[in-house]
A and B are shown apart, each in its own frame.
Chain A
Amino acid sequence: DAKTTQPPSMDCAEGRAANLPCNHSTISGNEYVYWYRQIHSQGPQYIIHGLKNNETNEMASLIITEDRKSSTLILPHATLRDTAVYYCIVRPAGGNQFYFGTGTSLTVIP
């Protein structure tokens, strides 16, 4: 299964865009990139997923590079409630198991 690499922590000023990077250099052509976040002592929350094209929803945007070896999650206007651990996950093709790494701990600063 493809592995992901994320920075362990990041800070972002409130109201600014938070850009969270993820490397997945061994991803296969039919594997999806997923992003979840986890607020302390709660269950992870789905944010967004994509295959090749950039995706946007009400929470965030997902930018996937053309070679698919990396991606960036963008929270356009970070708020204090966005402080959480963000996980970048690659889902095996045809599978529904998720392999979580240690993620990026994002702190939004007032």
Chain B
Amino acid sequence: DGGITQSPKYLFRKEGQNVTLSCEQNLNHDAMYWYRQDPGQGLRLIYYSQIVNDFQKGDIAEGYSVSREKKESFPLTVTSAQKNPTAFYLCATWDGSYNEQFFGPGTRLTVL
């Protein structure tokens, strides 16, 4: 079953702790993305990666870090420097054959 897996669906952390959100895909897509969504708002781009071992900052990269060591995986770390980390986080890939962006189910992070 091809797709994007984000785990866990709900994540709770204490303020000041770093937390890593998982994103795995078996679609064989080169490009991967991380978005953040706040209540009632659209999606904002955090980081994206066009290819393994390469990634670029999006519009709101401050307080976040990523790695892309494998084509299938693009984990996002929310650091303690992110002032307001509580949000819904979405991972996506890009299908260049059909020119579509595919999204995972998302992880809802709550920092207490």
Residues of A within 8 A of B48 (CB): 97
**How many angstroms from the CA of A42 to the CA of B108 in the assembled complex?**
10
The count of A-to-B residue pairs whose CB atoms sit within 8 angstroms is: 46
A44 at the interface (CB under 8 A from B): yes
Which of B37-45, B61-69, B71-79 is near enough to bind chain A? B37-45
- Residues in A88-110 with C-beta less than 8 Å from chain B: 91, 96-103
Closest chain-B Cβ to A105's Cβ sits at a distance in Å of 9
A45: chain B residues within 8 A (beta carbon): 103
Contact A44 B103 (CB under 8 A): yes
A96 B101 Cβ-Cβ under 8 A:
yes
Chain A: interface secondary structure?
loop
Asked whether B101 lies within 8 Å of A102 as measured between CB atoms, the reply is: no
Chain B interface: which size bin?
20 to 34
By beta carbon, the residue of chain A nearest B59 is A99
- CB contact between A46 and one of B4, B35, B100 (< 8 Å): that residue: B100
- Kindly identify, within residues 48 to 68 of chain B, every residue whose CB is under 8 Å from any CB belonging to chain A: 48, 58
Residues of A within 8 A of B40 (CB): 102
The interface size of chain A toward B, counting residues with CB under 8 Å, comes to 19
Chain B, 76-105, contact with A by CB distance < 8 Å: what is the 0/1 string?
000000000000101010101001111111
Bound Cα distance from A24 to B94, whole angstroms:
23
Taken together as a complex, chains A and B put the C-alpha atoms of A1 and B49 apart, in Å, by 20
**In A32-50, which residues have CB < 8 Å from any B CB?**
32, 36, 41-46, 49
Query: B-side interface residues toward A, CB under 8 Å?
Result: 4, 31, 33, 35, 40-45, 48, 58, 88, 90, 92, 94, 96, 99-106, 108
